[in-house]
Amino acid sequence: MNSLSHLEKKKKIRYMVTICIFLCLIFTTFLLSMDAGLIHLSPIDVLKVLVNHGTSQQELILFDFRLPRIVISLLVGSGLAVSGAILQGITRNSLADPGILGINVGAGLVVVLFISFFSSMQVVPVFALPFAALMGAVLTATLIYILTYKKGQGLSPMRMILIGIAVASGIEAALIVLTIHLDPRQLQFVTIWLAGSIWGTNWNFVLTLLPWILILMPLAFSKARVLNILNLYEDVSKGLGMAIEKERLILLGIAVGLAGSCVAVGGNMGFVGLIGPHLARKLVGPKHQFLLPASALSGSLLLIVADTLARLIVQPSEIPTGILVSIIGAPYFLYLLAKSKA
């Protein structure tokens, strides 16, 4: 009995260390990220601004441009990664993520529709965009759910992924057709959105996103135990007395809410939802009490690193963060595939 609790303790310590390392890395990148950009601020400048001794230009850059953007990267990264972890858990497939299931492009489609609808006006009401994106995500998820659901058999995870991929490519095609009708300025915005650029760089967007994260994230963590069981063989979950269909639907809802609200502010950010959980699983294992928090942090770290680099690499312009995540993520993912036994 003692030896077992010793093993459990060792595991917990390992988890705590992983979490601490993540937090340290995030904090370091956070500090670096405040310096990085077209107008370079030295760490001393940043410190000065923080204690209210900077120039008004430095204050403007830090408080009105950089900080909200950094905060949004952190939130979007954690939201997408946790969404991915949930989807991978309920589908029992480690390739599932909001992108593959078409939730991202679904949000994109509604965004494009929204923009083309308002194209007669000079100014697009940008603050309504997050809600449009969220609506798109929910509609897509509902469509996939309806198509996957088979009476008597319920929701087959494999079917859900295949239908998700099919729906995603359909929506992508529709998107391309729609963008033809946009004027150049709108087209540019849509292109940037689809490439995954953190465009909502002010505090209002933080406030739009924050409630979703604050509500859905704890809800997801409270379902860790259920996710553990759903991640097992289906007949085993039933044998343990789990109401599979109900719990799956609730968790799907949480995942879609997280992904939809994040994509709304962060654009079509692929790969974070796939790689965040993968990285976390390598470090803390598949138990969701550990996996979900670790995923949230790895997603945050991934995105804040990508966003900082995106601002640095091709100055004075910048690369969409989503593209950078893919550039970092793709080789890592190939490495994972090459390393896995199966």
Partner 1 sequence: MDCLHTAQLNIAYVDRLIVEDLNLCVPEGKITALVGANGSGKSTILKAIARIMKPKKGSVFLDGQSIYHQPSKEVAKLLSILPQNPTAPEGLTVGELVSYGRFPYQKGFGNLTQEDKKMIHWAVDVTGMLSFYDRPIDQLSGGQRQRAWIAMALAQGTNILCLDEPTTFLDMAHQLEVLKLLKKLNKEEHRTIIMVVHDLNHASKFAHNIVAIKEGRIVSEGDPQTVLTKGVLKKVFGIEADIISDPRTGVPLCLPYELVQEHDPVNIDSRMSYI
Find the helix packing angle between 272-284 and 288-312, rounded to 10°.
130
Find the helix packing angle between 103-117 and 244-266, rounded to 10°.
50
Q: Is there a contact between 119 and 135 (Cβ–Cβ < 8 Å)?
A: no
Nearest to 83 by CA among 277, 310, 302: 277
Q: What's the min distance (Å) between Cβ of 242 and partner 1?
A: 7
Among 225, 330, 334, 335, binds partner 1 (CB under 8 A): 225
What number of chain residues touch partner 1 (CB under 8 A)? 32
Q: What's the min distance (Å) between Cβ of 282 and partner 1?
A: 8
DSSP state of 287: -
Q: Is 233 in the site for partner 1 (CB under 8 A)?
A: yes
Residue type, 33: S
Q: What's the min distance (Å) between Cβ of 116 and partner 1?
A: 43
By C-beta, is 11 or 48 nearer to partner 1? 11
How far is the C-alpha of 270 from the C-alpha of 322, rounded, in Å? 6
Among 56, 176, 235, 339, binds partner 1 (CB under 8 A): 235
Of residues 9 through 38, those in contact with partner 1 by CB under 8 A are 11
Owner of token pair 């929701």: 155
Q: What's the min distance (Å) between Cβ of 108 and partner 1?
A: 31
By C-beta, is 2 or 42 nearer to partner 1? 2
Of residues 146 through 205, those in contact with partner 1 by CB under 8 A are 152
Q: What's the min distance (Å) between Cβ of 156 and partner 1?
A: 14
DSSP-assigned states of every residue in 247-281: HHHHHHHHHHHHHHHHHHHH-S--SHHHHHHHHHH
Pick the stretch among 20-28, 131-139, 228-236, 267-275 that binds partner 1 (CB under 8 A). 228-236
HSE-CB at 9 with a 13 A cutoff on CA atoms is 6
Could you give the string, one character per residue 276-305, with x where binding to partner 1 holds by CB under 8 A and - elsewhere? Answer: -----x---xxx-x----------------
Reading the block at residue 318, the tokens are: 């910048």
Question: In 10 A of CB 313, how many CB atoms?
Answer: 12
Among 5, 56, 122, 317, binds partner 1 (CB under 8 A): 5
Phi, psi of 241 (to 5 degrees): 85, 25
Nearest to 287 by CA among 10, 12, 4: 12
Q: What's the min distance (Å) between Cβ of 296 and partner 1?
A: 16
246 contact partners, CB below 8 Å, separation of at least 6: none
Among 158, 243, 313, 334, binds partner 1 (CB under 8 A): 243
Of residues 76 through 105, those in contact with partner 1 by CB under 8 A are 92, 94
Reading the block at residue 102, the tokens are: 């078409």
Site residues for partner 1 per CB under 8 A = 1, 3-5, 7-8, 11, 92, 94, 152, 221-222, 224-225, 228-229, 231-233, 235-236, 238-243, 281, 285-287, 289
